[in-house]
Amino acid sequence: MTAFMKIATWNVNSIRTRLPRLVSWLERRRPDIVCLQEIKVVNEDFPGEELGKLGYHCLVNGQKTYNGVAILSRTPSTDPFFSLLDEAPDAPRRLLAATIEGLRIINVYAPMGTEVGSERYAYKLDWYRRLRDFLDSSAQPDGGVVLCGDFNVAPEDRDVWDPEKWRGQILFSDPEKEALRKILEWGLKDALRLHQQEGGLYTWWDYRAGAFHRGWGMRL
């Protein structure tokens, strides 16, 4: 593994729509590894040839219309894994893991959960339990692991523009935060909080009501 690696994660919400911006960003920033979520295409439709011209190897776990994840890397990846343990063949494509220069990269797109108390909410909590099982069985905390992606949970009050408004709601309910804490307790560190303690650093904004320009966001 090189002494320094630049690793990025981006929920592109459709690789087809976001490709021009992705290409422009890759040309400017030149990251070593990029984890993409919500690519929303099957493997055959992923723009691997175009990204390959920029010097990236592409590992893809795609799905039509929904979900889908991919890992771009400047050096080839090995030991790929495409799902949680004992997952059905037709399960949503939400995980992709690979080893790159000795570093285990795990890219996830966690379920949103829709509404607290719903079946999809229960599925989300169970998915997090199975993610912890996956970590327990397939990796070692001291072995060099980067878990990144879209977790669809805001960990703390400082990760939400109005925590009282969101408290108990989807993305910020106590069971969701506890599920994410159990993932961190496996032996991981919140990379952002190693360098920055202030709030107001967000990754998601509601597209309605001008939330982005008003700073009404959440770090998911």
Domain-embedded: residue 134: yes
121 and 219 co-located in one domain: yes
Q: Give me the CATH number covering residue 191.
A: 3.60.10.10
Q: What is the pLDDT of residues 45-60, one digit of tens each?
A: 999 999 999 999 999 9
**123-138 pLDDT, tens per residue?**
999 999 999 999 999 9
Pair (138, 178) in one structural domain: yes
Answer whether residue 99 is part of any domain: no
Q: Please check whether residue 188 lies inside any domain of the structure.
A: yes
124 shares its domain with 190: yes
- Do 133 and 201 lie in a common domain? yes
Task: Output the 3-class SS for the chain.
Answer: CCCCCCEEEEECCCHHHHHHHHHHHHHHHCCCEEEEECCCCCHHHCCHHHHHCCCCEEEEECCCCCCCEEEEECCCCEEEECCCCCCCCCCCCCEEEEEECCEEEEEEECCCCCCCCCHHHHHHHHHHHHHHHHHHHHCCHHHCEEEEEECCCCCCHHHECCHHHHCCCCCCCHHHHHHHHHHHCCCCCCCHHHCCCCCCCCCEECCCCCHHHHCCEECC
Q: Is residue 103 part of a domain?
A: no
Range of the domain at 16: 1-94
Residue 102 lies in a domain: no
What is the total count of domains within the chain?
A: 2
Residue 169 lies inside a defined structural domain of this protein: yes
Q: Does residue 63 share a domain with residue 16?
A: yes
Average pLDDT of the residues in 149-158: 99
Say if residue 171 is in the same domain as residue 126.
Answer: yes
Over residues 71-88, the pLDDT tens digits come to 999 999 999 999 999 899
